[in-house]
């Protein structure tokens, strides 16, 4: 009880401090309920899925390193891990599934044959958890993706296979939205690209556009389904050219009013996704974010509270874009406790949004409009040292989840009691 009193006392001090800048911390704590983050299922098991017992990540320029003990061996264990994660996070989240995470009952179900029956168990589980589900076609880790091309393949049999897979996935996602009462975002990322410089870039992109036109010809109610497409600069094995580039998908989504997925690890290291948000939303109703942390060539490190994540959150909050931006995570690290990875990355993302909400935006904007740039810079720096942690701790307290670093012990105990017993 004493600890709770100290948290509340610290919060009252922070509340008074922020009020001096015209910021209502009570309103911020309430507003945080609108920050819904879609956790990515593939962090739980290193993007292995449950198609086959010995499934491994392959192709597509993506790679998971590490073999930390405790990886879930079944969907039941995976759900238990996710439930543990949800229990330690403030607010309400969603879950994003890849198509390889269906319940296939030990049967060999190829990608073009996936159906809602393989995911009904996930829907029932999501209802119990009170969360929404998002979905992703899985266009990698498959023999028909080994040559580096799927929807842009010049092999018509291969191209047709992947078209049918994505069509099936959109139907599944729409059923998620229908049964759960919240639209499901179906995100499409393909690994297609070339290791060395190709001659026929235009040919591959023409084929991809043709495939997409056929896939999206079937329309679903936006009440159930939102379609997104994700670009990438390069991958391992596709260093010279990625077919689905930023320019390609930006053009396609604007022309067809789909969601552009911006992954902040998929651009040049000096490019900032935060700077792109207000540009693309001039032309699109909504976008999807994949929040991650790029380190050199790797785009998928665990999210930390860094300047890049802060700018993304600030741009969304400053411009009242919350209802136009779908926030998802995308990182995978098999070298650390996977449950802990979820908590660090999700909490960092939530903290970025809370700090953005605690910003005295009107005051800063007034300085900017009046060319008082010194005052603007000085105030932005001043806000970095305010009592943000006290507001965050209070938010966790009212949500009845561990405060500060207390979640670390919870993860360590879960590892001792559950994860280390898995072999």
**Measured between alpha carbons, how far is 304 from 388 in angstroms, rounded to an integer?**
16
290 among known catalytic residues: yes
Q: What per-residue confidence (pLDDT) applies to 235? A: 87
275 among known catalytic residues: no
| Catalytic-role residue among 45, 81, 263, 333 | 263
**Measured between alpha carbons, how far is 27 from 31 in angstroms, rounded to an integer?**
6
Q: Are 206 and 238 in contact (CB under 8 A)?
A: no
Strands (E), 4-119: 37-40, 93-98
| Catalytic-role residue among 8, 298, 375, 410 | 298
266 among known catalytic residues: yes
134 among known catalytic residues: no
413 among known catalytic residues: no
300 among known catalytic residues: yes
Helix H segments across 259-360? Answer: 273-280, 307-318, 338-357
| Catalytic-role residue among 118, 171, 266, 276 | 266
Sign of CA pseudo-dihedral 34, 395, 346, 82: negative
DSSP letter, residue 149 = -
Q: What per-residue confidence (pLDDT) applies to 302? A: 96
The values of phi and psi at residue 188, to 5°, are -115, 120
Q: 């699109």: which residue's tokens?
A: 284
| Catalytic-role residue among 144, 171, 226, 232 | 232
Q: What per-residue confidence (pLDDT) applies to 58? A: 57
Residue among 333, 325, 314, 334 at smallest CA distance from 380: 314
Q: What per-residue confidence (pLDDT) applies to 423? A: 77
| Catalytic-role residue among 134, 175, 192, 230 | 230
Stated pTM of the model: 0.95
Q: What per-residue confidence (pLDDT) applies to 71? A: 95
Q: What per-residue confidence (pLDDT) applies to 358? A: 98
Residue among 163, 45, 136 at smallest CA distance from 422: 45
230 among known catalytic residues: yes
Which domains does the chain show, CATH number per domain?
Answer: 36-358 (3.20.20.150)
| Catalytic-role residue among 175, 308, 330, 359 | 330
**Measured between alpha carbons, how far is 363 from 182 in angstroms, rounded to an integer?**
36
For 190-252, the DSSP string reads ---EESS--S-HHHHHHHHHHHHHHHTTS---TTTEEEEEE--S--TT-SSEESS-HHHHHHH
Query: How many other CB atoms sit within 10 Å of the CB of residue 302?
Result: 21
**Measured between alpha carbons, how far is 253 from 263 in angstroms, rounded to an integer?**
15
pLDDT by position in tens, the chain (length 423): 477 899 999 999 999 999 999 999 999 999 999 999 999 999 999 999 999 766 555 555 567 788 999 999 999 999 999 999 999 999 999 999 999 999 999 999 999 999 999 999 999 999 999 999 999 999 999 999 999 999 999 999 999 999 999 999 999 999 999 999 999 999 999 999 999 999 999 999 999 999 999 999 999 999 999 999 999 999 888 999 999 999 999 999 999 999 999 999 999 989 999 999 999 999 999 999 999 999 988 889 999 999 999 999 999 999 999 999 999 999 999 999 999 999 999 999 999 999 999 999 999 999 999 999 999 999 999 999 999 999 999 999 999 999 999 999 999 999 999 999 997
Helix, strand, coil share (%) of the chain residues, nearest 5: 50, 10, 40
| Catalytic-role residue among 118, 178, 186, 290 | 290
263 among known catalytic residues: yes
Q: What per-residue confidence (pLDDT) applies to 57? A: 58
118 among known catalytic residues: no
Query: How many other CB atoms sit within 10 Å of the CB of residue 57?
Result: 19
| Catalytic-role residue among 300, 333, 359, 415 | 300
Q: What per-residue confidence (pLDDT) applies to 53? A: 62
């Amino acid at each position: 009880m004493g600890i709770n009193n100290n948290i509340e006392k610290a919060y009252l001090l922070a509340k008074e401090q922020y009020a001096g800048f015209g910021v209502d911390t009570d309103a911020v704590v309430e507003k945080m309920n609108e920050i819904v983050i879609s956790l990515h299922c593939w962090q739980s098991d290193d993007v292995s899925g449950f198609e086959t017992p010995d499934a491994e990540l392959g192709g597509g320029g993506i790679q998971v390193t590490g073999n930390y003990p405790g990886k879930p061996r079944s969907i039941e264990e995976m759900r238990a891990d996710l439930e543990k994660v949800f229990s330690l996070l403030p607010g309400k989240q969603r879950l994003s599934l890849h198509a390889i995470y269906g319940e296939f009952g030990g049967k060999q179900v190829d990608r073009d044959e996936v159906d809602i029956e393989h995911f009904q168990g996930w829907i029932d589980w999501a209802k119990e958890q009170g969360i929404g589900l998002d979905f992703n076609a899985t266009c990698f880790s498959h023999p028909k993706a080994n040559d580096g091309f799927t929807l842009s393949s010049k092999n018509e049999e291969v191209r047709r296979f992947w078209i049918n897979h994505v069509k099936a996935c959109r139907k599944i996602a729409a059923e998620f939205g229908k049964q759960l009462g919240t639209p499901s975002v179906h995100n499409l990322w393909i690994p297609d690209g070339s290791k060395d410089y190709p001659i026929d870039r235009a040919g591959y992109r023409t084929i991809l556009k043709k495939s997409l036109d056929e896939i999206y010809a079937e329309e679903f109610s936006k009440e159930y389904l939102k379609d997104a497409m994700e670009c990438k600069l390069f991958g391992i094995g596709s260093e010279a050219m990625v077919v689905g580039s930023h320019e390609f998908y930006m053009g396609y989504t604007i022309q067809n009013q789909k969601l552009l997925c911006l992954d902040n690890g998929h651009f040049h290291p000096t490019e900032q996704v935060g700077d792109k948000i207000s540009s693309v939303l001039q032309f699109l109703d909504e976008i999807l974010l994949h929040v991650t942390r790029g380190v050199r060539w790797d785009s998928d490190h665990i999210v930390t509270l860094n300047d890049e994540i802060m700018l993304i959150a600030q741009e969304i909050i400053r411009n009242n874009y919350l209802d136009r931006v779908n926030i998802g995570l995308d990182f995978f690290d098999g070298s650390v406790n996977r449950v802990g990875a979820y908590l660090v990355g999700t909490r960092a993302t939530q903290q970025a949004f809370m700090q953005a909400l605690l910003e005295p935006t009107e005051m800063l904007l007034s300085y900017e409009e009046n060319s008082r740039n010194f005052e603007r810079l000085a105030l932005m720096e001043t806000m970095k040292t305010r009592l943000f942690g006290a507001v965050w701790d209070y938010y966790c307290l009212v949500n009845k989840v561990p405060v500060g670093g207390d979640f670390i012990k919870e993860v360590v105990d879960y590892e001792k009691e559950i994860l280390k017993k898995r072999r």
